Structure 1
Amino acid sequence: PELDDEFARAATEFDTLEELRADLDRRLREELEAELDAQFRENAVDALVEASTVELPAEIVDRRAAELWTGMARSLDARGISTETYLTMTGQASEEVVERLRAEAARAVGREVVLEAVADQLGLEVGDEELEAFVREQAAQAEEDPDETVGRMREHGAWERLRGDLRLRKALDEVAGGVKRIPVDLAAAREKLWTPEKEKQASGMNIWTPGSEEARTQ
């Protein structure tokens, strides 16, 4: 079929091809902005991890790596693929996969440790009302019953885990708010998406890192 207004009316909710194209452009821009924002936030916390002097407990990293391996194996099994077949298909040795997963685990644990330290330093908390409001909002968006969702999460122990996750998200917001964004073209040239903010923010907040002199004097 020709890409014209008739096609737009027949195949979509729009009356004209121009409206359809405008909607596609808007969605692509939103997806790109979301991807860039997520990458920016990851880079911000990773830089804070690198700047910190915290040593990651090997047993915690090993446990997280084992969880990643188990999750990968379950995902493969759900698609009818054994880990042996996966290794053969990808041309990898099991030791290589374990090493890669351990690196991912170390990165994840490092982020959590640093964000926990930031949350402690700034006194960030997630109250019951805030937590319940978040759960109800998410349930409504998923077209689920908010009361049932709240009850289910409380019953199965997910309530406090979510509280911890939201606390880390608050810490990440603070970290991301303490760095300076630069244009994407300049970021690509520098192979970075951000630069550290050298001066105090308007709020007077300094970027603090675990193990810094300030931390040791607390």
Structure 2
Amino acid sequence: MPSSVDRLSPTRVKLTVEVSFDDLKPSLDKAYREIAKSVNIPGFRKGKVPPMVIDQRFGRGAIIQEALNDALPKFYGEAVSENNLNPLAQPEVEVTKLEDGDLIEFTAEVDVRPEFDLPEFSTLTATVDPIEVTDEQIDTQLTALRQRFGSKSVVERAAATGDVVTIDLVASKDGESLPDATAEGLEYEIGTSGMLDGLDEAVTGLSAGESADFVSTLVGGAQKGEEADIHVTVTQVQEQELPELDDEFAQTASEFDTLDELRDDVAARLANAGRLDQAARARDAVLENLLEQLEIDLPENVISSEVDARKEQIQSQLDGAGIDLDDYLAETGEAEDAESFWAGVEKRSADAMKAQLVLDKTAEQTGVTVDQNDLTQHIFQRAQQEGTAPQQIIAHMQEHPHHIDEYMLEIRRGKALATIVEAATVTDSNGEQIDLARIQPDGSLGDPAAAEDVVLEGSVVESDDEGTGADDADSTENKA
């Protein structure tokens, strides 16, 4: 099956493919069989109508078109493989020649991965913050543990920091009550500053049955971000009784015999979490360093489609939350105005596609493979991240088989990134070199061979439904 390629631009080609009628015959025969089974023609049994009669009844051109529609994906795929192309979108196909009984010629214009050379990965560097576990962090964890084993009792006195109060809240603006900002029976721990600005000061010193008024900015509902008058009434005050922080508590709350052992365990867990966070930041930094060294032409059509999809998704999220973009930006400070915000979305879309192209080419050049065991591990990791059961993800994959290809692509890119990061030099800001390959799935240090699957292969970019875009984990779009 002869084929040729004309490069229209660094990111777009035109394939010209010739198909002989011998190659098309299986699809022609199939088209005749399908039509013969579906029509009733006097004098012929159903399914036994000769091709000549079908041609007379429906026209030879219609049969050829049906056969070509059936065979075109196969012919196109073979031509792509023969010419070592990497399509990034669906092709625009046109039949340019049809000589019945001899050959058919068609062209396919398609956006493809541009040519670029990868640098030596050993030249890549990245610097990340060192891991720090402070006494304050350990104390915070231990306080949370004490609260789990503590108790609360109702007291007849004024509320103080650390007490848990039950409150009723009524918000109003210009004298009119705001139903979305009214609630009863809320429990709140004084001093946590986790509800409304000014609430701590308002309820401190109040006893059950007493009220106070203050002004605060609403954090939810239709009036989110607006100032309102708040009337708060304390209906109950509870004193928290926390167990003493001693060896007896350590024995009750853990498998350890002493408080020192418990503190050491908490410190180790915080260090493990720090290593996992450090590894994630190192992966991002190494990839960013690599992308900065490359000038890659990106296909405008594909980027435009990806940007439009992202914009539609973000706008849908804003509309669903009842938030205007300008109000959202004013509250979060993500960007100065809508124009700069959307410009940022476009840049992140381009950066994500650039990363995908680099990882795909790395996977090809380094011979990355993905097997069933990789997919199984990925399913379990994804289930853990999403807080769901692996069986649910498997069931979803069975309902949507295309997700299997997406997961396999995601795994392949993760392995490619692992190859890049493993060759790079990563240090912390103190100048200490970090061996990411030693970090185990739980963040502890161990055998490099047992750790690299999870830590080095962490997903940075994921394929979208078409396999041409990227899911950018940027906080701006997630918050929207």
Task: Give TM-score, length-normalised by structure 1.
Answer: 0.69
Counterpart residue number, 1:96: 340
**In the alignment, structure 1 residue 56 sits paired with structure 2 residue 301:** no
Q: How does 1:32-51 map to 2 (within 5 A)?
A: 32-51=274-293
Instruction: Give CA-to-partner distance per residue, 1:122-150, whole Å, 9 cap, x none.
Output: 222213x234422554477566254x643
**In the alignment, structure 1 residue 178 sits paired with structure 2 residue 423:** yes
Instruction: Give CA-to-partner distance per residue, 1:48-101, whole Å, 9 cap, x none.
Output: 222223212233334333444444445555655343421332463111111122
SS in 2 for 1:121: helix
SS in 2 for 1:53: coil
**In the alignment, structure 1 residue 31 sits paired with structure 2 residue 276:** no
Aligned AA (1:161): E
Instruction: Give CA-to-partner distance per residue, 1:145-165, whole Å, 9 cap, x none.
Output: 54x643431321211100100
**In the alignment, structure 1 residue 119 sits paired with structure 2 residue 363:** yes
Counterpart residue number, 1:134: 377
**In the alignment, structure 1 residue 13 sits paired with structure 2 residue 254:** yes
SS in 2 for 1:185: coil
SS in 1 for 2:431: helix
Tell me how far apart the structure 1 counterparts of residues 425 and 342 of structure 2 sit (CA, whole Å): 36
The correspondence for 1:166, drawn from 411, 415, 439, is: 411
5+ residue gaps in structure 2? Answer: 1-241, 436-480
5+ residue gaps in structure 1? Answer: 188-192, 195-218
Tell me how far apart the structure 2 counterparts of residues 50 and 139 of structure 1 sit (CA, whole Å): 30
Tell me how far apart the structure 2 counterparts of residues 154 and 24 of structure 1 sit (CA, whole Å): 41
Q: Which has the higher helix share?
A: 1
Tell me how far apart the structure 1 counterparts of residues 383 and 348 of structure 2 sit (CA, whole Å): 33
Counterpart residue number, 2:22: none
Tell me how far apart the structure 1 counterparts of residues 289 and 406 of structure 2 sit (CA, whole Å): 26
Tell me how far apart the structure 2 counterparts of residues 182 and 139 of structure 1 sit (CA, whole Å): 29
Tell me how far apart the structure 2 counterparts of residues 175 and 138 of structure 1 sit (CA, whole Å): 21
Counterpart residue number, 2:349: 105
**1:87–1:93 Cα contact (<8 Å) kept:** yes
User: How far 1:110 moved relative to its partner?
Assistant: 1.3
Tell me how far apart the structure 2 counterparts of residues 139 and 34 of structure 1 sit (CA, whole Å): 16
SS in 1 for 2:284: helix
Tell me how far apart the structure 2 counterparts of residues 122 and 173 of structure 1 sit (CA, whole Å): 11
Task: Give TM-score, length-normalised by structure 2.
Answer: 0.34
SS in 1 for 2:389: coil
SS in 2 for 1:81: coil
Structure 1 residues 145 and 137: CA distance shift in structure 2, 3 A: closer
**In the alignment, structure 1 residue 65 sits paired with structure 2 residue 307:** yes
Question: Which structure carries more relative contact order (alpha carbon 8 Å, separation 6+)?
Answer: 1
Tell me how far apart the structure 1 counterparts of residues 410 and 390 of structure 2 sit (CA, whole Å): 22
**In the alignment, structure 1 residue 155 sits paired with structure 2 residue 399:** yes
Q: How many residues align structurally?
A: 186
Q: Which has the higher strand share?
A: 2
Aligned AA (2:408): R
Structure 1 window deviating more from structure 2 (30-39 vs 70-79): it is 70-79
**2:375–2:408 Cα contact (<8 Å) kept:** no
Structure 1 window deviating more from structure 2 (158-167 vs 65-74): it is 65-74
SS in 1 for 2:398: helix
